Amino acid sequence: MSATNRAHVLLWTDAATAYLDAIQAAGLADRVAVDTLPRKEKPSPEQLARTEVLMAGAVPPGLLPAMPRLRWAQAMSAGVDNWLALPDLPPALTLTCARGTHTESMPENIIGALFHVAKPYARVAEYQKQSKWVHTVAQPLTGKTLGILGLGAIGQEVARIAVALGMHVIGTKRRPTRIPNVAEVLAPSQTDEVLAQSDFVLLLLPATPETENFIDAKRLARMKPTAWLLNFGRGQIVDDGDLMAATKDGKIAGALLDVFRQEPLPSEHPFWTAPGIVVLPHIGGPHPQRDRFVSRLFVENLKRFLDGEPLKEVVDRTAGY
- Of the listed ranges 45-49, 98-102, 242-246, 263-267, the one predicted with least confidence: 98-102
**Per-residue confidence (pLDDT) for residue 4, from 0 to 100:** 59
Q: Which residues form the catalytic set? A: 234, 263, 282
Average pLDDT over residues 128-133: 97
Helices marked H in 177-289: 191-197, 217-220, 240-248
Residues ≥6 apart with Cβ < 8 Å to 169: 145, 146, 147, 148, 159, 162, 163, 181, 182, 183
* CA distances, 28 to each of 56, 68, 108, 172 (Å): 19, 24, 33, 40
In this predicted model, what pLDDT tens digit does every residue of 67-118 receive, in sequence order?
Answer: 999 999 999 988 898 999 999 999 999 999 998 887 888 999 999 999 999 9
In this predicted model, what pLDDT tens digit does every residue of 217-236 receive, in sequence order?
Answer: 999 999 999 999 999 999 99
Domain ranges of the chain: 3-101+288-306, 105-279
In this predicted model, what pLDDT tens digit does every residue of 167-184 receive, in sequence order?
Answer: 999 999 999 999 999 999
C-beta separation of 48 from 66 below 8 A: yes
Where residue 213 falls (left for φ over 0; alpha for ψ -120 to 50; beta otherwise) is left
- Of the listed ranges 39-48, 137-146, 156-165, 289-298, the one predicted with least confidence: 289-298
Cα within 13 Å of Cα(118), Cβ side: 20
Residue 317's pLDDT band (boundaries 50, 70, 90)?
Answer: very high
**CATH number at 105-279:** 3.40.50.720
Selected residue with higher pLDDT from 242 and 286: 242
Angle at alpha carbon of residue 255, lines to 252 and 260, rounded to 5°? 135
Residue 289 confidence (pLDDT) above 80: no
Round the average pLDDT of the chain to a whole number and report it: 95
Separation between Cα atoms, residue 78 and residue 321, nearest integer Å: 8
Average pLDDT over residues 35-46: 97
**Per-residue confidence (pLDDT) for residue 290, from 0 to 100:** 81
**Per-residue confidence (pLDDT) for residue 149, from 0 to 100:** 98
Do 3-101+288-306 and 105-279 show the same overall fold?
Answer: yes
Tell me the fold of 3-101+288-306: Rossmann fold (3.40.50)
Q: Is 201 helix (H, G, I), strand (E, B) or coil?
A: strand
Residue 1's pLDDT band (boundaries 50, 70, 90)?
Answer: very low
Say how far residue 124 (Cα) sits from the centre of its chain.
31
Q: Label each residue of 33-75 as H, E or C.
A: EEEEECCCCCCCHHHHHHCCEEEECCCCCCCHHHCCCCCEEEE
| Count of Cβ atoms closer than 10 Å to residue 156 Cβ | 20
Paired with 10 in beta bridges are 35, 54
Angle at alpha carbon of residue 226, lines to 220 and 231, rounded to 5°? 50
Average pLDDT over residues 268-297: 92
Residue 164: name the closest of 181, 145, 147 by CA. Answer: 181
Q: Label each residue of 108-124 as H, E or C.
A: HHHHHHHHHHHCCHHHH
Residue 212's pLDDT band (boundaries 50, 70, 90)?
Answer: very high
DSSP class of residue 135 equals: -
What is the percent of the chain with per-residue pLDDT over 70, rounded to a whole number? Answer: 99
Average pLDDT over residues 29-52: 97
